[in-house]
Every structure is written in C-alpha cells, then in structure tokens.
Amino acid sequence: MEKSKIETYLGFCIRARKIVFGAEEVEQKKKGVFLIIADESLGTSSQKLVAKAQEKFACPLIKATAGTLGERLHRIGVKTVAITDKNLALAIVGETANDTQFKLYSGGTN
C-alpha cells in the first residue's frame, strides 16, 4: 500500500521533532502550535481539551476517521497530535482535500 502525502508529512514532523503527542501535552503547550489533528474516537474529556487548545492557539483542527491517526503515525494509542512547524502544518491542511480519511473540522487564523 502506498503512503499518502499526509502520512509522509507526519513522518517528517516526527523526524524533525515538530510534533506533540496527546491531548494533555497539546493543551499544556504555551505557544507554537499551528495545527491540531484529532481522531474521531477521542473521549469527551479529551475532546474538551482539544477544543480549548484549538481556541487558545487559533489554529486549524483536522478530524481523522476512527483509528486512522494512530495507524498513520505507526503509534496505535495516539489520538491527538499538534504540529509545531508552520510549513508542514500548511502542507497537511492543503492535502486534506485529497485524503478522504482526514477532514478539516475548523479553520484557524494563523
């Protein structure tokens, strides 16, 4: 199976250490978040943390179909990530139109 561009960009983020894993870690960041990606199977308390972080950083929020995010990251338990590189975040947002498993849920101002 061929990798999608979003999976490739997420791999770049991991190698460049421009990604934060987990809803609590995302919410604790002080600044520098340009994109949040959350799995649809995220629990209600974590969804609240993600919504709070999305408002705080005024960044886009992408929802992934259930189980897709952890599968694409090759980290099964991960359901929320934040991208801390602006260019990679813009590239991922641009590719959501081409990937049916990711959809832009809410746009940001950055």
Could you tell me the pTM of the whole model? 0.91
pLDDT at position 105: 82
pLDDT in tens, 28-87: 889 999 999 999 988 899 999 999 999 999 999 999 988 888 888 888 889 999 999 999
Collapsing DSSP to helix, strand or coil, 106 comes out as strand
SS3 98: coil
- Domains plus CATH for the chain? 5-106 (3.30.1330.30)
**Cα separations (Å) of 79 from 2, 65, 109?**
22, 10, 24
pLDDT band at 110 (very low <50, low <70, confident <90, very high): low
- State the pairing for strand pair 61-64/102-106: antiparallel
Q: Considering only 8-12, 31-35, 82-86, 99-103, which range has the smallest mean pLDDT? A: 99-103
Distance CA 40, CA 38 (A): 6
